[in-house]
Structure 1
Amino acid sequence: MQRVQTVGDVVGRWFPVIVLVAGAVALAVPGVFDGWSSAVPWLLALIMLGMGMTLRPVDFAYIVRRPAAFAIGLGAQYVVMPAVGWLLTVLVDLPPEIAVGVILVACAPGGTASNVMVFLARGDVALSVAMTSVSTLVAPIVTPLLVLLLAGQYLPVSAGSLFFSIVQIVLIPVVLGFLLRRFAGGVVDRITPALPLASVIGITTVVMIVVAGSADALFAAGLAIVGVVIVHNLAGLALGYAVARAFGLDATARRAVSIEVGMQNSGLAATLGTVHFGPAAALPGAVFSVWHNVSGAALASYWSKRPVPVTTTRE
Structure 2
Amino acid sequence: MQKIKAFGDWLTKWFTVIVIVWAVFNYFVPQTSLWGKSYTGYFLGIVLFGMGLTLTLDDFKRILTQPLMVVVGTVAHFVIMPLVAVLLCWIFRLDGPLAVGVILVGCCPSGTSSNVMSYLSRGDVALDVSIGILSTLCAPFMIPLLMQWLASQYVTVPVESLFLNAVKVVLFPIALGVICHAIFKEKIEKVTVALPIVSQVAILLIIGVVVAANGPKLFVASSLLAIPVVILHNLCGYALGFGFSKLMYKVYPKGFRYAQQKAITFEVGMQDSALGATLALSSFASNPLAAVPSTFFSVWHNISGSVLSSWWREHDDKHQIHPDSDNGEKGSAAKASEAGDAVKDESEETVNA
Scaled by the length of structure 1, what TM-score is found? 0.94
Q: State how many pairs are aligned.
A: 311
C-alpha separation between the residues in 1 aligned to 2:47 and 2:166?
A: 13
- Residue in 2 that maps onto 1:211: 211
Pair 1:268 & 2:282 matched: no
Offset at 1:8? 6.1
Change (3 A) 1:243 1:12: farther
- Residue in 2 that maps onto 1:239: 240
* Aligned amino acid, residue 237 of structure 2: G
Greater Cα radius of gyration, structure 1 or 2: 2
- Residue in 1 that maps onto 2:193: 193
- Residue in 2 that maps onto 1:313: 327
C-alpha separation between the residues in 1 aligned to 2:62 and 2:262?
A: 16
Q: Are the counterparts in 2 of residues 16 and 297 from structure 1 also a CA contact under 8 Å?
A: no
Offset at 1:241? 0.9
C-alpha separation between the residues in 2 aligned to 1:21 and 1:139?
A: 30
Q: Are the counterparts in 2 of residues 78 and 107 from structure 1 also a CA contact under 8 Å?
A: yes
Offset at 1:210? 0.4
Offset at 1:93? 2.4
Matches within 5 A, 1:160-175: 160-175=160-175
Q: Are the counterparts in 1 of residues 210 and 295 from structure 2 also a CA contact under 8 Å?
A: yes
Which has the higher mean CA deviation after the structures are superposed, 152-161 or 9-18?
9-18
C-alpha separation between the residues in 1 aligned to 2:115 and 2:6?
A: 14
C-alpha separation between the residues in 1 aligned to 2:290 and 2:25?
A: 20
Counting aligned pairs with the same residue, the percent is: 40
C-alpha separation between the residues in 1 aligned to 2:76 and 2:24?
A: 33
Change (3 A) 1:127 1:11: farther
- Residue in 1 that maps onto 2:132: 132
Considering Cα pairs closer than 8 Å and 6+ residues apart, tell me whether 1 or 2 has the greater RCO: 1
- Residue in 2 that maps onto 1:158: 158
C-alpha separation between the residues in 1 aligned to 2:268 and 2:18?
A: 23
Scaled by the length of structure 2, what TM-score is found? 0.84
Q: Are the counterparts in 2 of residues 148 and 159 from structure 1 also a CA contact under 8 Å?
A: yes
Offset at 1:121? 1.5
Q: Are the counterparts in 1 of residues 89 and 95 from structure 2 also a CA contact under 8 Å?
A: no
* Aligned amino acid, residue 216 of structure 1: P
Q: Are the counterparts in 1 of residues 121 and 262 from structure 2 also a CA contact under 8 Å?
A: yes
- Residue in 2 that maps onto 1:256: 263
C-alpha separation between the residues in 2 aligned to 1:49 and 1:28?
A: 32
Which has the higher mean CA deviation after the structures are superposed, 17-26 or 234-243?
17-26
C-alpha separation between the residues in 1 aligned to 2:219 and 2:30?
A: 12
- Residue in 2 that maps onto 1:304: 313
C-alpha separation between the residues in 1 aligned to 2:95 and 2:215?
A: 15
- Residue in 2 that maps onto 1:230: 231
Point out where structure 1 has 5 or more consecutive residues left out of the alignment.
Answer: none
* Aligned amino acid, residue 271 of structure 2: Q
Q: Are the counterparts in 2 of residues 85 and 232 from structure 1 also a CA contact under 8 Å?
A: yes
C-alpha separation between the residues in 2 aligned to 1:149 and 1:302?
A: 37
Matches within 5 A, 1:1-315: 9-220=9-220, 221-248=222-249, 249-277=256-284, 278-305=287-314, 306=316, 308-309=321-322, 310-315=324-329
* Aligned amino acid, residue 292 of structure 2: L
Which has the higher mean CA deviation after the structures are superposed, 107-116 or 213-222?
213-222
* Aligned amino acid, residue 46 of structure 2: L
* Aligned amino acid, residue 256 of structure 1: A
